[in-house]
């Protein structure tokens, strides 16, 4: 009896750990569901085909699966209608970094996207907005020149048309292969946020799992309102880097959405099914160029 209990306990804990590692490596959780017919977080029986109806959220433990930008657009935007902006901006290899082109080509094939973010104009519950959605499946959602440019254009388009800007973040950080150019995208996008603010146009951020590095430390933290999906990993330095520096294990729940909520760095943690409604409320209560705006 005790032995069985122990084994069950080990079975419950161990896969969770290995799963977290797989998650950091960016492997698709849905493969887990397909293979094991269970939720990677709580291990209760799950059918991959039914996940679509719950917006890829586990009905038992509320685990939010990572989803692609186009799925997110389908779940969030009226009729899934999305008019893309700057869709033709494509990456080049500014540093002549070895193997960068082939990595980008591979990422294109794997993710079916041209870069790690899609930007465009759409409606949320009949309200016009500019939206940007990042994709972890494209080179870990890393921000290079193209991501920086597209995010910047989205914000400046919002400023020009006086439309609220919504950005769904999901990124491992800066794109190392573009060196200094990727670092500078932090300054560029932050400046765009400043220009947006000058126009009195709101910027809403929805942080999804995971958001790290240069992406967190730029436009992500500059939202007028910052929302986060439950249990998302959010931080500046990655957990392994921090553990390596301080030579100790990180506390449970460190860098999760709820941790940031408690520390005062996100406004609210919102479940996926409530995002549309919450965003609509925010759009209504932040009218651009309202009295009192600069």
Partner 1 sequence: MSSNEHLSKKLGELKSLAEREKLDISEDISRLEAKLKSGKTAPSSAWRRVELARHPSRPGTLDYIERIFDDFVELHGDRCFGDDPAIVGGIAMFGTQPVTVFGHQKGRNMKENMRRNYGLALPEGYRKALRLAKQAEKFGRPIVSFVDTQGAFPGIASEERGISEAIARNLKEFSTLRVPIICFILGEGGSGGALGIAVGDEVYMLENAWYSVITPEGCASILFRDASKAKQAAEVLKMTAPDLLGYDIVDGIIYEPIGGAHTDPDFTASKIKLQIADTLSRLMLKAPQQLVRDRSMRLQKIGVFAEARERRQSFLRRLFGV
Phi, psi of 174 (to 5 degrees): -75, 155
194 near partner 1, rule: CB under 8 A: yes
Of 23, 63, 66, 153, the one binding partner 1 (CB under 8 A) is 153
Token reading at 164: 């609220």
Enter the DSSP assignment of 249: P
146 near partner 1, rule: CB under 8 A: yes
- Minimum distance from residue 208 beta carbon to partner 1 (Å): 15
| The one segment of 9-17, 187-195, 270-278, 285-293 that binds partner 1 by CB under 8 A | 187-195
Of 68, 111, 145, 257, the one binding partner 1 (CB under 8 A) is 145
User: 76 vs 91, which CB is nearer to partner 1?
Assistant: 91
182 near partner 1, rule: CB under 8 A: yes
With 0-12 / 13-18 / 19 or more C-beta atoms within 10 angstroms meaning exposed / middle / buried, residue 150 is: buried
Alpha-carbon dihedral of residues 147, 152, 153, 156, nearest 10 degrees?
170
CA distance 150 to 119: 7
> Taken in order 63, 280, 165, 89, is the CA torsion positive or negative?
positive
Among positions 214-273, residues that touch partner 1 (CB under 8 A) are 214, 216-222, 235-237, 241-242, 245-246, 250-251, 254-255, 263-265
User: 40 vs 235, which CB is nearer to partner 1?
Assistant: 235
CA distance 139 to 116: 7
290 near partner 1, rule: CB under 8 A: no
- Which residues, at least 6 apart from 38, have a Cβ–Cβ distance to it below 8 Å? 32, 44, 45, 46
User: 55 vs 192, which CB is nearer to partner 1?
Assistant: 192
Binding stretches for partner 1 (CB under 8 A): 88-92, 94-95, 97-98, 145-146, 148-149, 152-153, 156, 160, 174-176, 178-188, 190-195, 197-198, 213-214, 216-222, 235-237, 241-242, 245-246, 250-251, 254-255, 263-265
């Amino acid at each position: 009896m005790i032995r069985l209990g122990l084994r069950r306990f080990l079975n419950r804990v161990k896969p969770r750990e290995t799963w977290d590692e797989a998650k950091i490596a960016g492997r698709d959780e849905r493969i887990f569901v397909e293979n094991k017919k269970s939720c990677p977080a709580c291990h209760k029986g799950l059918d991959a085909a039914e996940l679509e109806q719950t917006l890829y959220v586990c009905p038992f433990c509320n685990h939010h699966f990572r989803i692609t930008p186009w799925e997110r657009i389908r779940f969030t935007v009226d009729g899934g209608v999305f008019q893309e902006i700057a869709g033709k901006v494509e990456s080049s290899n500014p540093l002549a970094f070895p193997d960068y082109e082939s990595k980008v080509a591979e990422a294109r094939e794997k993710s079916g996207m041209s870069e790690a973010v899609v930007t465009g104009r759409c409606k949320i519950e009949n309200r016009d907005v500019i939206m940007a959605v990042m994709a972890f499946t494209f080179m870990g959602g890393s921000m290079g020149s193209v991501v920086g440019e597209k995010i910047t254009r989205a914000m400046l388009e919002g400023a020009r048309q006086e439309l609220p800007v919504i950005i769904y973040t999901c990124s491992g950080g800066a794109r190392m292969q573009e060196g200094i150019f990727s670092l500078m995208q932090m300054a560029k996008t932050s400046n765009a946020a400043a220009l947006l603010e000058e126009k009195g146009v709101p910027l809403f951020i929805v942080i999804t799992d995971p958001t790290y590095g240069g992406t967190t430390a730029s436009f992500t933290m500059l939202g007028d309102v910052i929302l986060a999906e439950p249990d998302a990993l959010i931080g500046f330095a990655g957990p392994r880097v921090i553990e390596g520096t301080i030579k100790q294990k990180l506390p449970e729940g460190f860098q999760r959405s709820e941790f940031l909520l408690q520390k005062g760095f996100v406004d609210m943690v919102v479940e996926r099914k409530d995002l549309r409604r919450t965003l609509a409320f925010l759009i209504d209560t932040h009218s651009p160029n309202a009295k009192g705006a600069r």
